[in-house]
Each structure stands twice: as structure tokens, then as C-alpha cells.
Chain A
């Protein structure tokens, strides 16, 4: 930090982050799927280096105006490296070393690096401490883009006015009023090595090396992606700030977003790297703080927030041939069809007739529509939460109830549970006690259709009688009510294959957090030399007050990426209970 002139400051920062990770993975002899076990050693290294120089000019221009200008440059370079060695089948059990291998070792190494050079500048002009204007500009040059497209410029403007000060309208009722607005453009590069198609190696076949064409079609004409956002908002304080409201609305458009778009494998590739046309995101957020009671020693605070967001893909390729962006695929496809909701679940649905009745086949099994159908979107209608905090003298009790309303979730656990019959939901119809219908096979021949035994009727030729019959509530292709009886096992297995049956609303209301805190008396803390101290009990994810999906926490997710809306035998979410002791010195 060097102040080399009046109002001028120069700042040079050099930083390096390095991260190393070595893992040893042992799988024992006799493990299911790996009868010989295996042993693997993996090492990763991650490095980021930054050199940044900034010049700052800070001056009070007059009584009314103050100016702060900053200019600078940054050199960033990253690398990532991994080495992996694996003995895929151990020669002897219980010994974990790479030499102990019956097959050739499987080895791989990977190195990637990228560099980004930037210059940037920002300026802040303030007027009488109630009007502010903030302007930024930045240009990046990235190694990951083609040379002709590797430079991209992006500015932003933000302004805010504290109207209550500017217009001098402050009163007991209106204690604070601020409006703000902003517009920004942000540029972004890609990951390294996405420009030129290269040929990966496969495990050699004997002494023959193998090369293959990458299944991702790269793009030598990649452009930087741009996101432009506008936001307007206001902050209002009422009744001596006993009530505070913060509202904001944003609208974001991403242009040329760099997406690895899944394409039909018949193109020769599984995906193609594209600058995807236009993706829109807009939403509204609100926060309300109220202090309903504030008397001597007792205070009650309420904080509520609410958010809603809509995302839509408006354009993918320039020619308009791609009609849908597949975000993820597992049991169902998670897609963003052009002009429709982002995160639509596309999967198999019941075959329905014109009246909307489910059609069954001659065996009484519900049929699947050969066209995949939209089974809702994972995007919720809104999310929100309310925190109540009560404090009395040194005791604070606070709890947060939050909710997510709307959105669909495919539950693979439910589907698998139906298939395997391990869920309580598969009890109905299993036996006479659970309402199972009686039936037999004519001549005990199981390739014939089961015949229902009604009332006290008896079997004609002493056939075995089963009591796990269910009749699916549907209609035959001719529209007549289904009367074909199915063994419970086949009934539930049929439901496993119909994704529609296994999609639920992911709506929930939860007691997210409860905190009970005590401030320790100062006569205790002073002995420790601390100025204050508090002891709290904290519980998180305590109670699902309401949910629509059975068996699981609706927040369970298959992964943390964009492909939400599905779950399949995923580790359950956790509840945590804990204490915290805080000392301030």
C-alpha cells in the first residue's frame, strides 16, 4: 500500500492459493460387484495465482460532492492437476498396494491451466451523503476463448437516493426511504480446452493403442457469454424503523451462454458446445422486519422474506432447430423447452383416453403413453420464511419457519420401493387382511389370466387360491371399467415404470431453525476477561410441518447441480442439534 501523492493510493497484491488432496481408496476382497477388491491412489492439486495492482483516487470535491475513482489490473493464472493409479483387481486379499494387482494398472493423468488478464475501473460520486452514483467497467482477456473473441468488456451503473434525506420528508411515520436502481453487464469465459476437437485414449487392446472421437463436439468459434441484469428496489422504514420493508425486482438476460447442449447421438455426438441464444430470469424479492413489541426488557422481532423467480430459455441455436435444453437426465429428463418453464420434468405418463381416464391393457396393467409428457417443473412458485425473535433480559428465543411452495419432484426412492415392495405404501392388496382380492389360475397354469373369486365361490378344480389380487382403477381400450385382476407384486411393479405415478409436489413447510440463547451475567464474564458471553442452543431442520412427498424430505436432491427435481435413494437430509458458546473480548 503506497500513498505516493495526495489523494492517490497504490495497492499491489500478490496472492497464491494452493490446494493438495491425496486419496487412497481400498475396496476389500469379496465386495459385491468387485469380487477381487481394488486399490486406488489419487492425487489432485489446484493452484490459483493473482497479481493485482490498483490505483485509488479519493477526493472531496466540494462540500456537496465526493469522488472515489479506482483503476487497476489483474493477472490470474490457475492450474489443476490430477494423477490416478488403480489396481483394478487385487492379487491377494487384505494388502493394499499398487503392486498387488492381477490386471495391468489403470493409470491416468490430467493437467489443465487457464489464464485471465483484466483491467478494471470504478468510480463513485456521492452528493451530500444521500445520492450515490457508482460506475464500473472491466475488460478481460481469457485464454479459454478463441483469440479473435478472447477480449470482452463489461460495465455497470448503479444509483441510489435516500429520498427521506434528499426531500427532507423524514417523519415519525416515514423514518427512511431509499430507492435504488442498477444495470450491469457481466462477461464470462468458458472452461479450458473447449475449442479444438481432440482425441481421447482408451485402454489399449492388447498391444493396440486406442483413440476415439470425443463424444462432445467442441466449438472453435466460441464467444464470451454475457449476462445483462437490471434491478430496481426500495427500502422503507416506518414508525421509527419499527417496520422496515425492502423490495426488489430483477430481470436478467443471458446471451451467448456457453452451454454443453445434449444433442441426439445420431449427430455423432452426445453434446455440442454452443453459445446458446437467450435465457431470461426474472424475479421479485421482499423482506419485512417488524418489531411489534418493544418494552422495557422485552422485545419481539419478526423478519419475513419472500422470493419468486421465473426462468425461461428463449432461444438456443441460431437456426432454431434445437427446441429444448436438456439440463439433466436420470430417471426422467430435466429440460428447458424454448418458451416454457425451465426445469420441466419429462417422463413416462399414463396412457389416457379422451375423457382423461387411465387406459389398461388386457392384463389390467396401466399402459404408458409412448410420448413422454411434462410432469411439472422443479421451479417453485415461491419461497419464503418467517423468523420470530423474542428477547427478554438476557434470554433470546428465535425460530424460523420457512416454506417452498410448488415445484415437482420425481422420487426414485418411491418408485424403487414400489418395485421391491419395501414401502408401507405397498401394503394395500398384499393379503386378505389388507384388502387383497382372491383369485386363482385356471388349472394352476400361470400363463392364463387370473380369475377372481367373488364372495364365497370356490375354485372349480382345486386350484391354489391367492389373496393378493388388486384391480387397477382404469378403463380398457374400449372404455369399459377394468375388471382384470393383478397380483399385488405385478400391480406395484407396473407403477414403478410410470414416472407420472412417482412425481410429487415438493412443497414443504419446515421449522428450519430454533435458537435459545442466554447472555451470561457480566460478573462471570469479567472473571474470564471477556466483555460479554452468550450460550445458545441451536437446532436445525427440526420438524417438517407439512409436505406432499412420502417417505423422504422434499429437499433431498440427487445432486447439487442444475438438474434438480429428482431424487433416487439419496442420503437423507440431516437434523442438527448443537450448543454454541460465544465470548467477546
Chain B
């Protein structure tokens, strides 16, 4: 080897060693974009939140069992309320580090790009996700959440404070959204229709006002009086994500592609049967092996042996509607708004007619599930088990809202806890000493990763148990 070659190599080495530009260029990630786009983030936020909200852990394997819309035919442990600290890890994780992080970025980009409509829409979605979280867990990180640079161990805020902040955020959002302003893209909920977003914001706010109505009736009333009736979700304006064909199918449909663990609960089947409710064939399928009743529900919380003795083919599967790929994840319906207005009227928060709104709400729910025949509807409404009972609005609205919210587990669970109707019987072989679960337990990982905040929350709210009552749940 020539000495010049060596010298050349030496020079080469030392010149390269100090070349920082080259090193910096090497470390530019060629796989992901450094630029966030609000429209792409918005689609993702809506899709991923809807998946978590409508999916297995929150819905089928949790709240839908608690409210006895569905029951388990195998692996019945959760239907008997056997949960561990790992059971509610995934909703916490996907709502916080999935949904809320994307949404916060949309809000930030709305400010940066001077498009207040992204910010407003972001605030609506953020409020919805925080509402799902606090309804389920109670006290939750809110004021210090999604701010990792300043708060690596976010404190938990009292549920009361979370609801109050959400009421304010939604008011801000409805004020920010300007249908004549800059357009938004990527909106798979309302295709960029900003008027509908204002209505969604107001309807969510209405929902939260009633959520605190047993605790703080004055505040609930004053919030409701601020919301114009024509700025609420109306006919055909239900907030829902319409799923597509595989691989963008409805998460429940996806689950049933490979598994068969759930049946319709006996509680809802028998209620619908006793009311001659035309929604029964929508919610449930006839048993595969013909049975005299046609629709057979499964009692909640059987032991594995007792459940399997009932037989897979002699019990009703979830209605085909719910296991179809394109079936929407329903967030807030026309029917719910009407039930809410009926309740506000019944509580004297407004001067509307509760009975009329109640009937409209049931009619809207029928329409949602494809039943529009006027004679069927009026016959249904005329039954004594259905007719509005002015002496007990909780019973009438509670029972019918429970049916109308079929499939919307988290909301059905919150409203059942608040209205205390229908009066259900806990799981047959339940392990909570004859009690119902009244909340999710916090994920165990919080004890590894955010212990002091967790301990403060437990000290404030009470034992981290399924049976601990949340602040909003007065009765």
C-alpha cells in the first residue's frame, strides 16, 4: 500500500469526523412526516375515538354488560363483575394518549393556522372524550392532562370540576365555530357542515347539564336556558360515524367476524317483548335452532357452566344490524336530545311539554332503527307500560332512554346510574355482594407511573372499587 493512500485515508477520516451537517442529515426520519395536517389528524381522531368508544373493552365487555343490553355466553367472568386492575387499561390509554393527543394537536394547529373552526371542532371532540372518561372513572386528569412538557405526572381533577370545565369549553366551542369562516376538511362525522358541529356542541352541553342536575339543579337550569332549541341536534343530524367496508368496518362487526362470546341480555329481550317493541328484531336475532319464543335472551352473570348449558344456538345473537360492517358508531342522537328536553321540562328547567317531547323521542328512536309506520308507533305509545308518567319522569324517561341507547354502552351506563331506571337485578353469580358496578376502576399502571396523583384521587373520591359511587350519581 502506498503511503499516499494512507494519508488520503487519514485526511478522509478526520474531515468526515467533524462534518456535522452530514450527521444531522442522516438523522432525518424518512418514514414519517414532520408536518401535522389538521384534516388528517381530525379523521384519525374521530375514527380512533369511535373505535374505542364502540369497541370491545368499553362496550361489549364492560358497560353493555352492566346495563344488561348484552350478556356473555362464554368467558362469563366479566359478566359476573370479575375485573382486575388491568381490565380498564385500554380505554384510558386510547382515550388519553390516542384521541386526546391528536385532538389537542388539531386545536393547536387551529390557532397556528388562524382557522378557529378546527379549534372549535377540536374542543367539541375533546369535551366528548373527557366526558366519556369522567363518566366512567370519576375524578380524572384534566387540567394538567396532555401537557407532557409541563406535567409528567398529571394530577386528577374532581369530577365536579371536570364537568364545569367541559360546560365552559363547549360554550367556547359553539361560539368559535363560524359556518361562514374557513372550511375544515377530514370531517367524517359531519362532512364539514359547521352548523351541525354547533348543534353537536350544544347537545353535548345539554347532556352534561342534565348529568349534574341532581347535584347542581341551578347550574343545570342556567346552562339549559342558554341553549337555543333550534341549535340542538335535530332530525337527521345524529352525531355518528358511518363505518365502511373492511378494513374500516364497525368494531363490533370486526369482533364478531372471529368470535362469538355475546348474546342479547334477557333483561332487554323480556322488556321489549312485554312492550311489543318493534325494536326487538333489530336488537336481537332469532335463535339459530328454532325456539318457541324466537328471541331468547341470556341472564347476565351466569357461571361458565350454566351459560354453556343454555347453548349457543338456542339463545339470541346480537341483531344483524349491529354486526354489519357499515353500521355506525352512534355518539349523540336526535332521540337523546328529545329525551333530554323532556327531562329538562319535567324538572321545570324549561316550559316545554315533557309528554310531547317524550313521545317524539321514542318516535325518533324508532326512526333510528328503521321503524316509521305511524300506526305501529301510535299503538306502541298508547300502551300503559310506555305512556309518559308525569308523576315519575325518572321511570318513564329512564326505561325508554335505556332502550333507545341500546349499543351506546357508556352513555346508557351513565344515564342508568343517574336516573336509576330501569330497576335491574345484578348478575346472577355476581361477585359484588349483590351490588352493581358503578364505575371503572383506575388502570393499575397509574400506580406504577403516577402514584402520588392516583393516591390523592383515591383519597378524594373513595376506594378505587367498582362499587364506589361517583359524584354525579346522587341516588
Chain A residues at the B interface, C-beta cutoff of 8 Å: 1-2, 4, 10, 12, 32-35, 51, 53, 73-75, 77, 88-89, 102-104, 106, 109-115, 117-119, 141-144, 147, 150, 192-193, 195-203, 205-206, 208-215, 217, 262-270, 272, 317, 319, 321-324, 326, 329, 331, 333, 335, 346, 348, 361-363, 365, 368, 370-372, 446-447, 487, 489-490, 493, 497
Among B23, B30, B41, B429, the residue within 8 A (CB) of A111 is: B30
B447 contacts across to A, CB distance below 8 A: 346, 371-372
CB distance from B95 to the nearest CB of A (A): 8
A197 contacts across to B, CB distance below 8 A: 34
Binary CB contact string for chain B from 6 to 35 against chain A (1 if under 8 A, 0 otherwise): 100110111011111011101101111111
A280 to B404, CA, bound (A): 59
In the complex where A53-B13, A192-B27, A372-B448 touch, is A215 in contact with B154 (Cβ < 8 A)?
no
CB pair B247 A88 closer than 8 Å: yes
Binary CB contact string for chain B from 244 to 280 against chain A (1 if under 8 A, 0 otherwise): 1011100000000110000000000000000000000
CB pair A267 B151 closer than 8 Å: yes
A331 to B86, CA, bound (A): 8
Cβ of B145 under 8 Å from chain A: yes
CB distance from B139 to the nearest CB of A (A): 12
CB pair B246 A89 closer than 8 Å: yes
A32 contacts across to B, CB distance below 8 A: 258
A75 to B15, CA, bound (A): 11
Q: For the A-B complex with A215-B101, A217-B148, A264-B154 known, give 9 more contacts whose Cβ atoms are closer than 8 Å.
A: A51-B9, A115-B26, A143-B24, A211-B40, A211-B41, A333-B445, A363-B431, A368-B84, A370-B464
Query: Which residue, of B36, B98, B101, B105, has the highest number of chain A Cβ atoms within 10 A?
Result: B101
In the complex where A73-B17, A210-B40, A267-B154 touch, is A333 in contact with B186 (Cβ < 8 A)?
no
CB pair A143 B35 closer than 8 Å: no
A273 to B465, CA, bound (A): 33
CB pair A361 B26 closer than 8 Å: no
B100 contacts across to A, CB distance below 8 A: 268
CB distance from A32 to the nearest CB of B (A): 8
In chain B, what residue has the closest Cβ to A78? B26
In chain A, what residue has the closest Cβ to B146? A268
Cβ of B168 under 8 Å from chain A: no
CB pair B306 A144 closer than 8 Å: no
A89 contacts across to B, CB distance below 8 A: 246
CB distance from A54 to the nearest CB of B (A): 10
A10 contacts across to B, CB distance below 8 A: 1, 6
B85 contacts across to A, CB distance below 8 A: 348, 368, 370, 372
Query: Which residue, of B26, B27, B140, B302, has the highest number of chain A Cβ atoms within 10 A?
Result: B27
Q: Top 5 nearest A-B pairs by Cβ distance?
A: A198-B32, A266-B141, A73-B13, A268-B146, A264-B450
In chain B, what residue has the closest Cβ to A337? B448
CB pair A497 B84 closer than 8 Å: yes
In the complex where A206-B248, A210-B44 touch, is A199 in contact with B36 (Cβ < 8 A)?
yes
Among B6, B97, B147, B248, the residue within 8 A (CB) of A205 is: B248
CB pair B154 A361 closer than 8 Å: no
Cβ of B3 under 8 Å from chain A: yes
A-B contact pairs, 9 of them (CB 8 A): A2-B1, A109-B31, A115-B22, A211-B40, A265-B445, A268-B104, A268-B146, A372-B444, A490-B303
Among B5, B17, B147, B451, the residue within 8 A (CB) of A117 is: B17
A148 to B97, CA, bound (A): 30
CB distance from A486 to the nearest CB of B (A): 11
In the complex where A111-B30, A206-B248, A329-B445 touch, is A53 in contact with B147 (Cβ < 8 A)?
no
CB distance from A325 to the nearest CB of B (A): 9
CB pair B148 A263 closer than 8 Å: yes
Among B5, B10, B33, B101, the residue within 8 A (CB) of A269 is: B101
A117 contacts across to B, CB distance below 8 A: 13, 16-17, 19, 23
A372 contacts across to B, CB distance below 8 A: 85, 444, 447-448
B229 contacts across to A, CB distance below 8 A: none
A192 to B27, CA, bound (A): 6
Chain B residues at the A interface, C-beta cutoff of 8 Å: 1, 3, 5-6, 9-10, 12-14, 16-20, 22-24, 26-27, 29-37, 39-41, 43-44, 47-48, 77, 82, 84-86, 92-93, 96-98, 100-102, 104-105, 140-141, 145-148, 151-154, 186, 188, 244, 246-248, 257-258, 302-306, 428-429, 431, 433, 441, 444-453, 458, 463-465
CB pair A363 B433 closer than 8 Å: yes
CB distance from B3 to the nearest CB of A (A): 6
CB pair B145 A266 closer than 8 Å: yes
CB pair B102 A493 closer than 8 Å: no
A326 contacts across to B, CB distance below 8 A: 445, 448-449
CB pair B14 A119 closer than 8 Å: yes
CB distance from B458 to the nearest CB of A (A): 8
CB pair B33 A198 closer than 8 Å: yes
A521 to B136, CA, bound (A): 80
In the complex where A114-B27, A212-B102 touch, is A263 in contact with B449 (Cβ < 8 A)?
yes
In the complex where A117-B16, A202-B44, A211-B40 touch, is A346 in contact with B448 (Cβ < 8 A)?
yes
CB distance from B176 to the nearest CB of A (A): 22
In chain B, what residue has the closest Cβ to A4? B3
A4 contacts across to B, CB distance below 8 A: 3, 6
In the complex where A198-B33, A266-B140, A497-B84 touch, is A370 in contact with B17 (Cβ < 8 A)?
no
A113 to B28, CA, bound (A): 9
A143 contacts across to B, CB distance below 8 A: 22-24, 26-27
CB distance from A197 to the nearest CB of B (A): 8
In chain A, what residue has the closest Cβ to B430? A447
In the complex where A110-B31, A446-B303 touch, is A361 in contact with B43 (Cβ < 8 A)?
no
In chain B, what residue has the closest Cβ to A267? B148
